[in-house]
Homo-oligomer: A and B are copies of this chain.
């Protein structure tokens, strides 16, 4: 454990090796430090390291809501270990549960790590890396205590639990706070290595939507994570679409809607690769909400798009009115990188008619000869050059 402990000393902040004009004559009080450096090699010490930073972000006096969240091991997908977050251990999944907040709301999430330590040990890439699961979130506010990182000690050893506080800070013209409404995501930052790479690829991630009063209300929301090995929500090819013709059950692997319903996608990039999110027959506004109010003068300037590049860590919202003008049908949703879609990074938005019927006339083959699982041998033969 190291501390930046400071003794008083006055100094001008210098900008070494830059020639920029000084923006002000500010002085900075800096204080000489006595450095206490202790390497933390065991997750069990994590609890002991908390409490030195504020538990809650400024503006969150008290959580408005509490949630119990479980990290569990799921059945393997081929040889690939799968982990998931769930509101109960029995409902853990990948992606994890969609979280929804209103701007201004403060949420306390208690994460229970039920992943066996042996599983975490098998996933880690260095023998000194701590064993634990964490919860790191994008977009909303949290203190270092809820950062979900190794260096802040904010993770949970197997069998333990820890409460993370998220604050959907609202806009504030006086302080310049920009607000936190948006399409975000949460994920582990600890399993396997200091960036949670193994936790993410095993399934420890989910979507988060923070709304602002007046935002359009969707009829359905689907989380769609585009990731490595040509995967959508860690599946590819036929495994991306488990819809049955009879009574299809909406979920991360069954994107279905009735004509006229407002469908919202929380699109997330994970892993190592670039992707593009493309949907046939539908388009959306490249704005905070995925919608633009046409009465506004700037509506003329906003791009309407049907394909959007996203890198790992990116997230955005796309809202469409299912089947508007184009009618019902099996509308392809895929990555437009050709070698990705050819390898099975392609699924369907099934749009039924207003009565919940699909007109006859076509199958809904994905057109991907690819494997049914992202853990199968790679179908892509692309050479980057």
Contact = CB atoms under 8 A, between A and B. Distances in A.
A21 B100 contact: yes
Contacts of A18: 93, 97-98, 223, 251-252
Interface stretch (A75-83, A111-119, A156-164, A352-360): A352-360
Nearest to A261: B26
B304 A362 contact: no
B285 A367 contact: no
Nearest to A194: B367
Interface in A112-152: 125-126, 136, 138-139, 141-144, 147, 149-152
Interface residue range, chain A: 35 or more
A15 B197 contact: no
B1 A311 contact: no
Given A29-B357, A147-B280, A182-B303, 5 more contacts: A13-B249, A18-B93, A54-B327, A171-B299, A178-B304
Interface string A174-187: 01111111101000
B289 A301 contact: yes
Contacts of A305: 139, 182, 314
Interface in A338-385: 338-342, 346, 350, 352, 355-369, 378, 380, 382, 384-385
Contact of A356 (B29, B283, B297): B29
A381 to B, nearest CB: 8
A229 interface: yes
Interface in A38-62: 38-40, 49-54, 57-59
A197 B338 contact: yes
8 pairs of A and B residues whose beta carbons are closest in the complex = A194-B367, A52-B361, A313-B336, A4-B358, A19-B97, A17-B93, A3-B360, A33-B245
A32 B332 CA distance: 23
Given A91-B19, A309-B311, A363-B37, A179 B294 contact: yes
A60 to B, nearest CB: 8
